Amino acid sequence: MTNREFRALCMEKFDAKSHELNARAKKNIEAYRKTGHTLRLLDQNGIPVSGARIRVIQKTHDFRHGANIFMLDEFREQESNERYRALFAQYFNLATVPFFWSATEPEAGRLRYDIGSPKLYRRPPAELCVRYCEENGIMPKLHCLYYDKLIPDWLPKNSPAEMWKLYEKRFAEIAERYAGRMYEFEVTNEMISTHGWTSCSVLAHERDTGIRMWKMAREYFRNETLVINDSYPKDVGMRRYCDPYYLMLKDLISQGASIDKIGVQNHIFCGVSTGRQEDGLMQRIEHFDPDIVIRGLEILSEFGRPLEITEITIPTLGEGEEAEQLQADILRQLYTIWFATPRMDGAVYWNVADGTAVSVPGWDENVCRGGLFHRDMSPKLSALMLKHLFEEEWHTEEELVTDAYGCACFRGFFGDYTAETGNDRFTFGLHRAHPAMTTHRICRQA
């Protein structure tokens, strides 16, 4: 296919619905991503300071826009590792940390959590990732407690009793190390796909595995945010209330699973099994239908829990700058839909750089060229688009003047802020359930 054909196929329905999508985005973003706030300035005697000029600058976003951090210190070139470390902190405020059992305990009793653990490609040790996040103001999320597909070979896979005992040991070890240090914990991952797993244990096909995992997770992670991760918005939008993920959620919740957040994926994998990007695109064409995507998100929102797009791959379809521009345009459309969804809590990209995705015989995700950066960590147009959205379009900077009561009012996106008035500087936040006024005593009148 030509670049023009790819663009026509992917953007047709977005373009046809542009008026409705723009109206939805404008209305919902204003209503759900921003709030009113009042700054009140007092002098040292508690007297309101009128006529003071205040410059307000947003510094962080409460909406989580992240990526997996599987390539932290994983490049052969030290320069690429340094660029990855620098750019990750510039572009993302959340990081998905790999906790696949096959990587955390590849040999029985030999745990790979600590910095300096033996190397496994795309599986940096958890402690390395978490400390990097803590040092850079990034929220780490755990992926994932139960993913029976990626488990070590040494496990007694045919013994349910032994497997349950070892899963409980795994949960306990992770809780001891990381409870209180993570933004959230993904409990179960891709359970509606277990029929296709070939390397799993007997638990993958037992009736009550899901609910037992959720109850065990809450026992060990009592005060943590627990997330379920599965399916796609477009699948729920197509199948509606007969969708397997919807039915699984309904069943788990009815059995008492304390699911705090509902995660859905958004991988647009084209040609991963054939090497030709055209292959499989038509089977994924609903990803580019905003009506279907929004309907799926609205159905999942009916459970009354926050949503998160947990894994995002947007392919670079075609060649050259036109192909990169198409990827950036698709990203803009999808992120705007997600940001304008009332219950959406965040959107997490998957592979940061091209050439670093999963590649095994018969399945090569690198065919998609789904990274936001080139292999050398130079930004693609999609990376620049993401930065533009969160640092310019969905960003607040204001010049205010206090009234006779020392007050200045404005509306801003949820996040942390700095304010400058004269030589005085202070910080404050716009967050849900926080006070709508910040009072600050200045050292002297500006």
Which residues are bridge partners to 400 per DSSP?
54
Helix axes of 209-220 and 244-254: crossing angle, nearest 10 degrees:
60
Distance between CA atoms of residues 446 and 444, nearest Å: 6
The pLDDT tens digits along the chain (446 residues) read: 999 999 999 999 999 999 999 999 999 999 999 999 999 999 999 999 999 999 999 999 999 999 999 999 999 999 999 999 999 999 999 999 999 999 999 999 999 999 999 999 999 999 999 999 999 999 999 999 999 999 999 999 999 999 999 999 999 999 999 999 999 999 999 999 998 888 899 999 999 999 999 999 999 999 999 999 999 999 999 999 999 999 999 999 999 999 999 999 999 999 999 989 888 898 899 999 999 999 999 999 999 999 999 999 999 999 999 999 999 999 999 999 999 999 999 999 999 999 999 999 999 999 999 999 999 999 999 999 999 999 999 999 999 999 999 999 999 999 999 999 999 999 999 999 899 999 999 975 44
pLDDT at res. 195: 86
DSSP helix/strand/coil, 357: coil
Q: Per residue in 8-48, pLDDT tens?
A: 999 999 999 999 999 999 999 999 999 999 999 999 999 99
| C-alpha torsion sign, points 226, 177, 346, 55 | positive
pLDDT at res. 444: 59
The pTM assigned to this predicted structure is 0.97
DSSP state of 241: G
Q: Which helix (H) or strand (E) holds 320?
A: helix 320-339
Distance between CA atoms of residues 129 and 114, nearest Å: 10
CB neighbourhood size of 391 (10 A): 13
| Token reading at 376 | 């050398």
Q: Which helix (H) or strand (E) holds 396?
A: none
- Cβ–Cβ < 8 Å for 99, 126: yes
Strand order of the sheet with strand 34-42?
407-413, 34-42, 437-441
DSSP helix/strand/coil, 151: coil
Distance between CA atoms of residues 40 and 441, nearest Å: 8
Report in angstroms the alpha-carbon separations of 347 from 64, 199, 313, 344. Answer: 6, 29, 11, 8
Half-sphere exposure at residue 339, Cβ-oriented, CA atoms within 13 angstroms: 28
End-to-end CA distance of the chain: 62
- Complete domains list, the chain, with CATH: 64-393 (3.20.20.80)
Distance between CA atoms of residues 371 and 166, nearest Å: 36
Q: Which residues are CB-neighbours of 78 under 8 A, at least 6 positions away?
A: none
Pairing, β 397-401 against β 363-364: unpaired
DSSP helix/strand/coil, 360: strand
DSSP state of 382: H
356 residue type, one letter: T
Distance between CA atoms of residues 18 and 9, nearest Å: 15
For residue 144, cis peptide bond before it (omega within 30 degrees of 0): yes
182 residue type, one letter: M
Distance between CA atoms of residues 199 and 329, nearest Å: 38
Query: How far, rounded to the nearest angstrom, does the alpha carbon of residue 288 sit from its chain's CA centroid?
Result: 20
Distance between CA atoms of residues 293 and 308, nearest Å: 14
pLDDT at res. 446: 42
DSSP state of 371: -
Report in angstroms the alpha-carbon separations of 311 from 14, 216, 300, 314. Answer: 21, 25, 17, 10
